[in-house]
Structure 1
Amino acid sequence: MENREGIMKVDLHIHTTASDGSWTPSRLIDEVGKAGIGLFAVTDHDTTQNIAETGRLAAAAGLAFLPGVEVSSTLGNQSFHILGYGIDPDNEELRRLIAWNTQLLAEADHNSIRKLIADGFAIDYGEYAAYQHDPARGGWKSLSFLIDKGFCRDVNDFFSRLFTAERGIRFPDFPPPAKAIQAIRSAGGSPVLAHPGSSFHGTSLDETLDFFGKEDIAGVECFHPSHDAATTRRVIAWCQRNGLSITGGSDCHGDFVSKRRLGRPSIHLEQVRLEELSALGV
């Protein structure tokens, strides 16, 4: 699908109900079509569950689709996400790693509730354990439970008041970036550092790029909602100097994160560079 100038719009960072997005594959295909996007990727957190269905629906709709994943990793006390493009979702090394990460995330969910109880919150752990999270809401179990029980308003309130280092609640210690990169390579994919300029990492952009410049990454996500224009230019220039791929996407989570809108920032095919795109004929 092309815009009136004949240039294809792309979005290479999208989440579905397989992780913390609120759109099913069929809803995503509808929304991609409405947004005029011709090439897109599903990059769910530590799961490839919806790749096959999305690929079938994309082919039927005449859309170019790139299978992907977003793998969680930890360096020191900081979390980094590694996008994997063009992966084989059945690769055993990748499947083992993301299954481990999924287990760690589930344990962090449970532990956060236990710590809130120890901190004086009137939460019944048995009620939480029996609670069923609806994936169509987006997010995850502990968040939905705490919203429904009136302990927080939304995801922003959750991270500002409840899921905090002051309460001793933090993300798990995932495997290091090198292991995530190796698993993506093993699955035949290109490992790309996600949103390096995001405050999520808690480190400076220069420090992040300096570290990952020594790792076996294929590229960097230069276009992202958390990047201002200056950051985008800096990261593109860094990729060009180092001969690395340039990617970007909305990091859309469906209706779950209202500020992350499909196709924003607006990215066109001529702005990205990724080896896997040639195989799609775009």
Structure 2
Amino acid sequence: MPSILNADLHCHSVVSDGTLTPEALAERAAANGVELWALTDHDEIGGQHRARAAAHANGMKYLTGTEISVTFANETVHIVGLGFDPDDEGMKKGLIATRGGRGERAQEMSEGLAKVGIHGAYEGALKFVGNPELISRTHFARFLVENGHCKDTHEVFRKFLTEGKPGFVPHRWATLKDAVHWITAAKGIAVVAHPGRYKFTANEEYALFLEFKAHGGQAIEVVTGSHSAAEYVEYADKALEFGFAASRGSDFHSPDESHIDLGKLPLLPGKLTPVWELLEDRIQ
């Protein structure tokens, strides 16, 4: 495929914490001019066959995708997998294992919110969950907005769901090595999602990229919904420095919550190697 392409390789459906079905996302992406699309639900690949069929029905090429939560330097980091076999048993088992702690974590989050007078948060969050195995902070945020505790989900995270706040409960995810291995063993490529979003020192970020590459990771997101224009430039330079391919994705979750719509990001800088060039034989 051409190197200059409207590719959106990061978004979420109701299968994890998005608000649209894979079919509705595909229609929206195609309407916005997306030529190559991937659905990357959190720690889940259950929507992949639906997404591929919907992509083809809307005239788009498709890459399989997921976004795996890992713990690195006491921070939750997201690793996107692209172009893997969605029926790979190792990938399925790994994702089931990493999803396992979400239910207990959600109960603890609800207990923390109850201590500050917000009751019934677990039951309230469940109303927004398409897949109970994947209950997350986003579902709690939607409950708190619906019930008037905050004006939007961004305010909820600031007041209640980040470290040191009443509803925050840490979760130990997969290791970086595990996530990259699941992806590469299933014939996919691992990508560090939105690297500018993590609260790492320069040394910690350098260590992340070095370890990621040592385990077989090959790309980072450069143009993504949570990066500023300055960060597009910064991470383009980092991709060149470490020999990474570059990915592009909106991280779209919902028409009412997301900063950037599907397919509306700037194109990748021409000096970079687009990740889809490494995945030509996996594009469907």
Per the normalisation by structure 2, the TM-score is 0.84
Q: What are the ranges of 5 or more consecutive residues in structure 1 without an aligned counterpart?
A: none
Q: 1:146 aligned to 2:150?
A: no
Equivalent position of 1:225 in the other structure = 225
Please name the residue that 1:133 is paired with.
128
Q: Provide the C-alpha distance between the structure 2 equivalents of 1:280 and 1:40, rounded to a whole number of angstroms.
A: 12
Give the drift of 1:268: 5.7
Once the two structures are superposed, the pairs formed by residues 238-253 of structure 1 within 5 Å of their partners are 238-253=238-253
| Identity of matched residues, % | 26
Aligned to 1:236: 236
The correspondence for 1:30, drawn from 15, 21, 27, is: 27
**Displacement of 1:159 after TM fit?**
0.9
Matched residue, 1:51: 48
Taking only aligned residues, the RMSD between alpha carbons, in angstroms, comes to 3.0
The corresponding residue for 2:107 is 110
- Moved runs in structure 1, 4+ residues, more than 6 A? none
Q: After superposition, give the CA deviation of every residue in 1:98-148 in whole Å (9 maximum; x if it has no partner).
A: 22232322322221001122x2415147x8289532549x97443333333
Q: Distance in 1 between matches of 2:282 and 2:57?
A: 15
Task: Mark the runs of 5 or more structure 2 residues left unpaired by the alignment.
Answer: none
Q: In structure 1, what residue type is equivalent to 2:231? A: T
Is the CA contact 2:10–2:249 (under 8 Å) kept in the aligned structure 1?
yes
Q: CA offset at residue 242 of structure 1?
A: 3.0
Cα distance in 2, alignment partners of residues 42 and 205 from structure 1: 31
Cα distance in 2 for partners of 1:112, 1:23 equals 25
- Equivalents in 2 of 1:38, 1:146: separation in Å? 36
**In structure 2, distance between residues paired with 1:157 and 1:261:** 20
Choose from 159, 162, 180 the match for 1:161. Answer: 159
CA contact (8 A) 1:75 1:177 kept: yes
Q: What is the number of residues matched between the two proteins?
A: 274
Q: Aligned equivalents of 1:224 and 1:233: distance in 2?
A: 12
CA distance, structure 1, for counterparts of residue 125 and residue 221 of structure 2: 39
CA shift, 1:205, in A, is 5.1
On the 8 A contact 1:194/1:221 being kept in 2, the answer is yes
Secondary structure at the counterpart of residue 239 of structure 1:
helix
Select the residue among 117, 120, 124 that pairs with 1:121.
117
The TM-score, its normalising length taken from structure 1, stands at 0.85
**Partner Cα separation in structure 1 for residue 137 and residue 116 of structure 2:** 24
- Asked if the contact 1:84/1:184 (under 8 Å) is kept, the reply is yes
Secondary structure of residue in 2 paired with 1:82: strand
The CA distance in 2 between the partners of 1:190 and 1:280, in whole Å, is 10
CA drift at 1:236: 2.0
1:74 and 1:245, CA in 2 relative to 1: closer, same or farther beyond 3 A?
Answer: same
TM-aligned CA distance change 1:61 to 1:124, over 3 Å: closer
Give, in whole Å, the separation in 2 of the partners of 1:155 and 1:28. Answer: 20
Aligned to 2:206: 209
Matching residue's letter, 2:43: D
